[in-house]
Amino acid sequence: MNAEIGAACSDRFRPWRHWLLVAAFVVAVAVLMGRVVYLNLSHRAFLQYQGDARTVRSEIIRTHRGTIYDRRGEPLAVSTPVDSLWVDPSTFPLEEASSRHGISLLAELLGQDVIRLRTRIARHRERRFLYLRRHLSPELAAALRELDLRGMHFQREYKRYYPAGEIAAHIVGLTNIDDRGQEGVELAFDHVLKGRPGHKRVLKDNRGRVIRDLEYRVLPKPGTDIALSIDLRLQYVAYRELKRQVSRYDAASGSLVMLDVETGEVLALVNLPSYNPNSPVVGGFERLRNRAVTDVYEPGSTVKPIIVALALENEGYTPETEVDTTPGYLWIGDKRIEDPINRGVIDLRTVLAKSSQVGISRIALAMDGLELDAIFRRFGFGRVTGLGFPGEASGWLPGAALSRPLARATLSFGHGLAVTPLQLAQAYLVIGSGGERYPISLLRQSEPLPGERVLAETTARQILDMLEGVLAPDGTGANARVEGYRVAGKTGTVRKVVNGGYDHERHVAYFAGIAPVSHPRLAMVVVINDPTGEIFSGGHIAAPVFSRVAATALRLLNVLPDAVRRRDRV
């Protein structure tokens, strides 16, 4: 009976409760919808800003540097995409998540001490960005991605690679970890190579992962490619032969510069010791120095042709003009200038062929100091070549001191002035080009740049013919001869200046030459600095390098041997 009464009461109140719940739900929905409408109308901008602030980010779109090529299209510097690892210290978990996913495994993969890594991240908890490792290898990047730690992110960057390594290091240079040029062409043409990064807005999830790109604000502009005048084949040959000789004589350093006589382009430029731009530089900044451009030396007898050029043009000399070198020495004040033997009366051609100090000094003493200074400057000494390399030295000329007889005499055989190997190569280019001084260029030229007349063409040709005599079997440059080709050049050997005086035990050996004489194509300078041992002359140390490099270079450039050229002409 009681059960029946309870069931009847329950049935009577059940519809009322149902409609009460429905009404409450409707009211709640109405309140929420009203709130949504209210917020959408009155706080829309604020809420949109707050949402974007948590999910929308602006990102830089990295772009690669331009590629550097040699004149034949061989890459000398290329950019490759790599990943860099960074963390958000404010969200990165410093405690172990598990035995597999944690900071211990991260430290192991990075090769770091876990305590130091944890301390480093904890010290920057207030920051939102901290690099852990730049420029990861693909294998390491893949292993790190598998950790999938919260607050750990990857950033796409570009790393520079140099296929030629140390062979072209001093020309191409290198970049720092931020992809900015630091040495060589990378620095000189950084404004052309670096390009311009872009910007975009992206949507990210709560773990910082990009869900989609929203808007490209600035499109990236890749760096511009450039083609150098360097021929990598010639660069390799020059590097190989110079290294062989520097090692053989245990020299402190060496440089070689090869120019194209027809255009003024640099075909090869080598320095030793060198470095590998793909690896951390070992041995300090000495290896980074581009000695052919930054280091200056007294050039020794290699500048004697310039004195002869002035004598031919302004003093009425001819190659057959006789010069009296008796008795084999010359006193200027208390300074004695001497030849190895008394050569007596010799002509101007023999003065060059035998490299007579007395003969060239007598010629210079008859000249005006202003004339001497002017001719050296016309050949390009005392000022930078305009190549554009960072740190290029201008060298030094005695200037007003040439009013003194001793200064004129010592200048005539290359003492009392300082030049770079590049300046000396440019001077010999003038002789080989028929008296024109072309701008020196590191970029490939489709046609020669306008030159400046330095010597009459007949004068330049006379000097070239006289310099060919230096390579006669009994000449000082016989070791520079190239089979099948007529070659002209001049040796030089100077004592090094140490603490204001000349060190009789330390020397710089030179050979500067032009090939072939019949149709000049190459002007080359070889410098071996501070060789050890009893043999140190330019004719014995530098000349053989010239011979081997020129022989290969002429064939690679398809320059016909003189015998073939004469046969074709007939």
Task: Cite the DSSP H helix spans in 395-537.
Answer: 405-412, 421-432, 457-468
* Phi, psi values for residue 365, rounded to 5°: -65, -25
How far is 427 from 295, CA to CA, in rounded Å?
Answer: 17
* Active-site annotation holder among 301, 356, 412, 537: 301
How far is 168 from 202, CA to CA, in rounded Å?
Answer: 41
Q: How far is CA 362 from CA 310, 355, 494, in A?
A: 13, 13, 20
Q: How far is CA 565 from CA 458, 469, 486, 516, 519, in A?
A: 22, 21, 12, 11, 10
Q: What is the full DSSP assignment across 466-493?
A: HHHGGGSTTSTTGGG-BTTB--EEEEEE
3-class SS of residue 201: strand
3-class SS of residue 254: strand
How far is 275 from 279, CA to CA, in rounded Å?
Answer: 8
Q: Are 217 and 60 in contact (CB under 8 A)?
A: no
DSSP summary character for residue 124: T
DSSP summary character for residue 165: G
In b/e form, how buried is each residue of 126-145, taking b as 16+ CB within 10 angstroms?
eeeebebbebbeeeebeebe
Question: Which residue, among 157, 166, 159, has the nearest Cα to 62 in the 3D structure?
Answer: 157
SS3 sequence, 270-328? EEECCCCCCCCCCCCHHHHCCHHHHCCECCHHHHHHHHHHHHHHHCCCCCCCEEECCCC
- Give just the sign of the alpha carbon dihedral 400, 401, 407, 411: negative
Q: Note if 301 is an active site residue.
A: yes
How far is 101 from 103, CA to CA, in rounded Å?
Answer: 7
* 299 preceded by a cis bond (ω within 30 of 0): no
User: What is the identity of the amino acid at 401?
Assistant: A
Q: How far is CA 171 from CA 175, 374, 390, in A?
A: 13, 31, 11
With both helix axes pointing from N to C terminus, report the angle between 304-314 and 369-378 in degrees, rounded to the nearest 10. Answer: 110
Q: Which residues are catalytic?
A: 301
